[in-house]
Amino acid sequence: MLKRVGVSLVNTGDLSMEEIVQYAQEAEELGYEGFWVGEGDGKESFAVLAAVASGTKTLSLGTGDVNYYSRTPTLLAIGAATISRLSNGRFLHYGIGTGGGSWMEAAHGIALDRPVQRASEMIDILRGILTPENDENLSASLVGLPSDAVVRGGANRRFTYPGKIYPIYSFRLREGPVAVPPAIYLSALGPKMIALAAKKADGVISNGLSEASYYRYREIFEREAPLVGRDPNQVQLYTLTMTTADDSAESLAALRICLTYFFGAPHFAPIMEASGYGVAVQQLRETWRTQGILAASNLVTDDMMQQFAVVGSPTQRAQKMRWMLDRNIYPILYPVCREGHVKEDCFTTMRYVAQYMQEALPASTVEKSNV
């Protein structure tokens, strides 16, 4: 039941490294497929994955996502290769993205310049460096690579790429490509980035997926993938899935605050508009500007929480999770925690989901979700 479900953390800075490894170890014991790490203002992603790789045996590892502005594509390839070898090939999910325009500018001092072009070149370069030449999927994984890109030299081959942003000349990994290259996903919310993912990436990582935004993604997949000879069903969809340990007033208040940050970010506007909340979000942003975040969070309705998170009774929660799984959507648990109870709520949420997915809604009695 959990073989297509992963776990993550709101912020790796909220737990010690030892606690993060414990969290991953318990996820492995409970049967979750993967452990996914973000970055933001927490711990460095590859350092976390290295610790988790050393403390687990079967759990797949992933990023969801690391930004491609503060690292070069070559450094991102080196990081992926390092974790892949350290984990014996368990680094299977490589999510990359912009990290958010305001975040890049405020935290890194980097302008969000040509994001789609950068993403396209990143995908090409990561695949060109990491994929073995004898991989039977090599030709498929390098779809869209410029004709004057060069891969030569056998196991320790060198890679040349005529990028407009990242021209790479005769680079090689000293240890060679990895035996099991990770799938590459774009963290994508806007139509241009989703379209690029449909043509070149292995999939898309969304955030707060609603039913309306799911069909928006599918529409773009079905329009764009055939343009390069791809089956739209080959484009996988993953989503950070906000949920709580329970439906107490304190937990739901924390979720409202989390969703207020989500709704208030300009790059989430396409999802909000597709889900019918364009006007409501404008009101929420204005209230936040004039009265503060607590006042704005009071505008997050129960319907919004049902659309963009997993809440309600165990059966209601299981129904929404099953709705995603039945559509080949991979949920990545995103525990939303009460202030002062982060460790407790992260572990409790992970256990709670495992329990209700195994008990509350057997597969034989799946009902279509109404969320």
Q: Report how far residue 12's alpha carbon sits from residue 7's, in angstroms, rounded to the nearest whole number.
A: 12
- Is residue 302 one of the residues assigned to a domain? no
- Is residue 258 one of the residues assigned to a domain? no
- Is residue 278 one of the residues assigned to a domain? no
Residue entry with tokens 């049967």: 31
| Residues 281-325: tens digit of each pLDDT | 899 999 999 999 999 999 999 999 999 999 999 999 999 999 999
CATH of the domain at 25: 3.20.20.30
CB atoms within 10 A of CB 222: 14
- Is residue 44 one of the residues assigned to a domain? yes
Q: Report how far residue 339's alpha carbon sits from residue 355's, in angstroms, rounded to the nearest whole number.
A: 24
Q: Report how far residue 167's alpha carbon sits from residue 114's, in angstroms, rounded to the nearest whole number.
A: 15
Yes or no: say if 300 and 215 are a contact pair by the CB < 8 Å rule: no
**Quick one: average pLDDT of 79-89?**
97
- Is residue 126 one of the residues assigned to a domain? yes
- Is residue 235 one of the residues assigned to a domain? yes
Average pLDDT over the chain reads: 89
Containing domain of residue 60, as a range?
2-246+328-360
| Residues 125-169: tens digit of each pLDDT | 999 999 987 655 544 444 455 655 666 555 567 888 999 999 999
- Is residue 157 one of the residues assigned to a domain? yes
Structure pTM? 0.90
- Is residue 229 one of the residues assigned to a domain? yes
Count of domains observed in the chain = 1
By C-alpha distance, which of 293, 304, 296, 310 is closest to 240?
A: 310
Q: Report how far residue 317's alpha carbon sits from residue 297's, in angstroms, rounded to the nearest whole number.
A: 22
